[in-house]
Amino acid sequence: MDLNLKTPLSEIKGIPPRFIKRLEKLKVFTIKDLLWHFPSRYEDFSEMVPIAQLEPGQQATVRGIVRDIKIRHSFRRRFVIVEGRIADESGEIKAVWFNQPYLLNTLRPGRAANFSGKVSSGENEIYLSHPAYELVTRGKTEMNHTGRLVPVYPETRGLTSKGIRFLIQPILKSVGYIPEWLPEEVVGPAGLPEINSALRDIHFPETEESALSAQKRFSFEDLFLLQLMNIRQKLKLAEEKAPAVKTDVEKLKKITETLPFKLTLSQKKSLWEIVQDIGKPKPMNRLLQGDVGSGKTVVAAVAALLAAENGLQSAFMAPTEILARQHFLTLKKIFVGIPLEKQPEVGLLTSKDAKVFYENDLEGAVSKKEFKNKIESGVIKVIVGTHALIQKDITFKNLGLVIVDEQHRFGVRQRAQLVHGKKIFPHLLSMSATPIPRTLMLTIFGDLDISIITELPSGRKPIITKIVAPANRGKAYQFIREQIRKGRQAFVICPRIEPADAKDEKTGEARNYSQKLALWEVKSVKEEYEKLSKDVFPDLRVGMLHGQLKSKEKEKIMSAFARASADKKDGIDVLVSTSVIEVGVDIPNATIMLIEGADRFGLAQLYQFRGRVGRGGHQSFCFLFTDSAAKTTNERLKAITEAKNGFELAEKDLKLRGPGEFIGQKQTGLPDVAMRGLQDFELIKLSHEAALEVLKKDKNLKNHPLLAEKLAEFEKKIHQE
């Protein structure tokens, strides 16, 4: 039969249907899927050793004859032990397997086989414990399971690595030549193996180097496509038109001077970068990164002000209503003192009502209809709301700037939707507090230009951070109670617990890892909430927040917490939450951040949690609770107390824990191999240069039809996420 990559495995004779079912669990349906089911690691059984020279503890392969093999029942007959003796010219050794009585069918006395595994020491002799084996028959030269680097695959119940090897080996041979889609000028100079040999080597490498270089090729593929996608998007956008926002530098100076505070150096620098971008008649595509509390909103507000001065509207989009309200209030504060002839009119659109702010402190609710009319006629210059609300049914008169808070990649698509097929694009300013290392930034968001705010406004009191050992838990609780008595508030963040159960109770379906994790986070929050509200702080008002609450409920709880202890009736003093608590919510009265199981979080994430406190005038505290007594844990946590900013920690985390910590696979839509590639700075650079090189000569990939096809597939996959 003619095999090609698209052939479904079910059409191949010789693969039993029960295997097909198991493969489907691994999301393997076609030949392509199977061949791209890569090993997660290799077992090194390449060392062939004469039996007499085996040493305890060694991983090795011996080739010998089965002398004698029998079944023994163990203690109380609870399991079956197969015990054999294997001999070569140099000596003899025992081999032991548990619960595999069927081995007697294959490993008959007199047969020759390879045995790979660990040499263990028993009471009086050494033996091979549970070795992998492979019969040696006449004419057979190639070994797949022993005597070499042996691939170990992601497995599923009833389908072991050995089974997967059995399937892959013959298919790899019969699938025929796969056309190379990476351009020649890329493969050669980068020193990457060609696709057919890479595929062979990733499954059955001769040496470790060949395995690594095959892995490198497949990582490169995805990085390269990602770079191509980003660069092409950038080029395409550069051809679009946008309204140029002209800035009178004297006026800008006056504006920044009358702000209620002095801008930090990097706020000024970022603002200047934005001013220059929006001054051009082509769309800005900029990401403003800065720690929580570093003052991104002010920078965006000034940009909106400048747009308004040019008669242009801005849309300020937040992920939640609470954040939208917060931004509206901030804008109000900032705009009040501004020395302009006419203050821009600011509107807040929420699901319930609309508010319009104009001059000094006039603020009034208007009907939605009126609100929309004022936007359509261009009276309201700055419109604040959630993404959903602004997108839904608002028509702008002349939208010049879109500001998106905390939604990196989506910003680009949202702008496209707001444009509604118009010829003029608004500028885009995306804001994020997620500390992503620069190397990752350049790859994942390579289509964006980046401004970074590296310092917090001066005058902030540093947050006192303590690693709390289990013995001091009581003291910490006492301290928190005193703080709350003084009118302050506390966050308690609960850890991830490694999930134990694998199935959904209702459907019996296996859950994926992130679903399990989310479930268990909620479990730990509920338990902690019970404990704190009943035993530890029965006299205080304890609230609970987690990802499974409806968004209405979440907002209710957040605003109860935001209204602070001032609200005697239904305020919240202590908020117990999963790691999902909203980024960016400003609660200046909260001064305590308590993190349970701190060792289970990434450094950058811990740092971000801590950033939720220390935003008001009061001294703030961060308590890192850990049950781990390990010295390395404490050293790792100490890094937080010393770090200058989140980016520094992010770089550290990237080295320690890999890219998955910053950016979930779901967020990027990147496959695993690419995620691995993100740790390899050299490879990132290589892929970037290669992508530039190819596009320079062939912008539309006319001369690279296979590549163009791949890229289209890749973009589709990413956009579906």
Interface with ligand ADP by CB under 6 A: which residues? Answer: 261-264, 267, 290, 292-298, 433, 457, 584, 586
Q: Of these partners, Mg ion, ligand ADP, none, which one is at the site of residue 264 (CB under 5 to 8 Å by kind)? A: ligand ADP
CB 611, min distance to ligand ADP, A: 8
User: Could you tell me the CA-to-CA distances from 588 to 487, 566, 592 in Å, in that order?
Assistant: 12, 13, 11
3-state class percentages of the chain: helix first, strand second, coil last, to nearest 5: 45, 20, 35
Q: Of these partners, Mg ion, ligand ADP, none, which one is at the site of residue 263 (CB under 5 to 8 Å by kind)? A: ligand ADP
Does residue number 147 form part of the binding site for Mg ion (CB under 5 A)? no
Shortest-Cβ-distance residue relative to ligand ADP: 295
- CB 613, CB 491: distance < 8 Å: yes
Can you give the three-state secondary structure of 556-584, one letter per residue?
HHHHHHHCCCCCCCCCCCEEEECCCCCCC
CB 545, min distance to ligand ADP, A: 19
Query: Per-residue contact track with Mg ion, 536 to 575, x per CB under 5 A?
Result: ----------------------------------------
Q: Mark the segment that binds Mg ion (CB under 5 A) among 352-360, 374-382, 519-527, 576-584.
A: 576-584
CB 609, min distance to ligand ADP, A: 14
Q: Of these partners, Mg ion, ligand ADP, none, which one is at the site of residue 586 (CB under 5 to 8 Å by kind)? A: ligand ADP
Residue 264 vs 489, nearer CB to ligand ADP: 264
**C-alpha angle 548-554-557 in degrees, rounded to nearest 5:** 130
Q: How many C-beta atoms surround the C-beta of residue 298 within 10 A?
A: 22
Write out the two tokens for 618: 């009061």
Q: Of these partners, ligand ADP, Mg ion, none, which one is at the site of residue 386 (CB under 5 to 8 Å by kind)? A: none
CB 588, min distance to ligand ADP, A: 7
CB 290, min distance to ligand ADP, A: 5
Q: How many C-beta atoms surround the C-beta of residue 696 within 10 A?
A: 9
Q: Of these partners, ligand ADP, Mg ion, none, which one is at the site of residue 267 (CB under 5 to 8 Å by kind)? A: ligand ADP
Q: Mark the segment that binds Mg ion (CB under 5 A) among 146-154, 164-172, 556-564, 584-592.
A: 584-592
**Neighbour-count burial of 476, counting CB atoms closer than 10 A to its CB (0-12 exposed, 13-18 middle, 19+ buried):** middle
Q: Mark the segment that binds Mg ion (CB under 5 A) among 68-76, 105-113, 171-179, 581-589.
A: 581-589
CB 607, min distance to ligand ADP, A: 13
CB 296, min distance to ligand ADP, A: 3
Q: Of these partners, ligand ADP, Mg ion, none, which one is at the site of residue 293 (CB under 5 to 8 Å by kind)? A: ligand ADP
How would DSSP label each residue in 358-411? ETTTEEEEE-HHHHHHHHHTT-EEEEEEEHHHHHHH---SSEEEEEEES-HHHH
Residue 97 vs 491, nearer CB to ligand ADP: 491
User: Could you tell me the CA-to-CA distances from 369 to 312, 365, 398, 685 in Å, in that order?
Assistant: 21, 12, 19, 52
User: Could you tell me the CA-to-CA distances from 48 to 44, 54, 115, 117 in Å, in that order?
Assistant: 11, 10, 10, 11
Beta bridge partners of 44: 149
Q: Of these partners, ligand ADP, Mg ion, none, which one is at the site of residue 660 (CB under 5 to 8 Å by kind)? A: none
Q: Mark the segment that binds Mg ion (CB under 5 A) among 79-87, 210-218, 229-237, 579-587.
A: 579-587
Q: What residue has token string 């000569």?
A: 697
Residue 167 vs 323, nearer CB to Mg ion: 323
Q: What is the CA 236 to chain-centroid distance, rounded?
A: 27
Residue 84 vs 646, nearer CB to ligand ADP: 646
Q: Which of 584, 614, 646, 669 binds Mg ion (CB under 5 A)?
A: 584
Residue 79 vs 261, nearer CB to ligand ADP: 261
CA distance 171 to 313: 60
CB 574, min distance to Mg ion, A: 24
| Residue 196: closest CA among 186, 209, 185, 182 | 182
- CB 323, CB 584: distance < 8 Å: yes
User: Could you tell me the CA-to-CA distances from 15 to 18, 27, 48, 142, 583 in Å, in that order?
Assistant: 8, 16, 32, 21, 50
List contacts with Mg ion (CB under 5 A).
584
